[in-house]
Amino acid sequence: MIVTLTPNPSVDRTIAFDSIRIGEVQRATSSRIDPGGKGINVSRALIAHGADTRAVLPVGGPEGRLLAELLELAGVPRCEVPIAGAGRMNVAAVTPDGTTTKLNEAGPELTGEEADALLAATLDAAQPGNWVVGCGSLPPGVPSDLYADLVARARNLGARVAIDSSGMPFNAAVAAKPSLIKPNHDELAELVGRPLPTLGDVVDAARDLVDDGIEVVVVSLGADGAVAVDATSAESDPLWANATVERPLSTVGAGDCLLAGVLFGLDAGEGLGASLARGVAWGAAAVALPGSRVPGPADIAEVTVRTSTEPDLSMPIRLTGEQAHTPTPTTP
């Protein structure tokens, strides 16, 4: 069982355009809506591959009701925590080359009681040996140590904890020593407080975190793939994987699919190298799908992943910002 906590879920509307011109009327070529939020996307990707998962999320207002309906249609097992506020709706504008512009709402303000109920529901769903995954931003009103509290309390239950977030909530969670973290390039640089211009710099930062007590560090690097470091690789060559996407459609949720693939592999007893390759395949397959649709086995079969334990550590990291969450188009 992999339990996901998404404190700030959303209904994701993805709108496609031939091009985007700021300040002018835009005519969409297509649109779609999906249930969204990082942890929800992890659970959706796991469901698509037959894994056992449960999503914990707050639900309130008309957006929350729509989100619950979309999750029901997607067959996602879940625990809905009622809140007084209305959930958020995020918009992604995409163009034919796969460029994605995201417009994210802040989310509803949660009371202290609602935040406590979210944490309690997550811990109630967890069992010893389970993965518990805290993902995404925190909505207004939620204390920045929510994920740190999750790490400590889930670990006391015998569960393994993965965190994918940013800013103060991520920093606090890392200090609590989760089992696995998955920052992107920018988030890792922010966490360690220094620029990371090359793959070698990224690997060194990941090794420092492993030396400090994090069991596994997976870093997504956009067009430059993803790298993983654990205690066995901290003193040797890192694990690196990448994939080419010939026809990118949307990067929304692709990084979440990468994390889902890694956790799927680790939960099944695969080694870190095989799990990283699986994650990169899932993330790359998601980039080739519209909106935040998650890939199934047939989509993954179309992806070729390149792996190495001796990557070029002098390689400059090309992408920053939101694009660094996912494997995006590269040339062979």
Q: Catalogue the active-site residues.
A: 256
Q: Are 252 and 100 in contact (CB under 8 A)?
A: yes
DSSP-derived secondary structure letter, 238: P
Orientation angle between helical segments 167-175 and 185-192, nearest 10 degrees = 60
Instruction: Give the list of residues 6+ apart from residue 238 with CB closer than 8 angstroms, or none.
Output: 203, 206, 227, 228, 229, 309, 311
Q: In whole angstroms, give the CA distance from residue 13 to residue 312.
A: 38
The token pair that represents 240 in the structure block: 């690196």
Strand partners, 88: 10
Q: What is the DSSP string of 12-78?
A: EEEEEES---TTS---EEEEEEEEESHHHHHHHHHHHTT--EEEEEEE-HHHHHHHHHHHHHHT--E
Nearest to 105 by CA among 67, 149, 162: 67
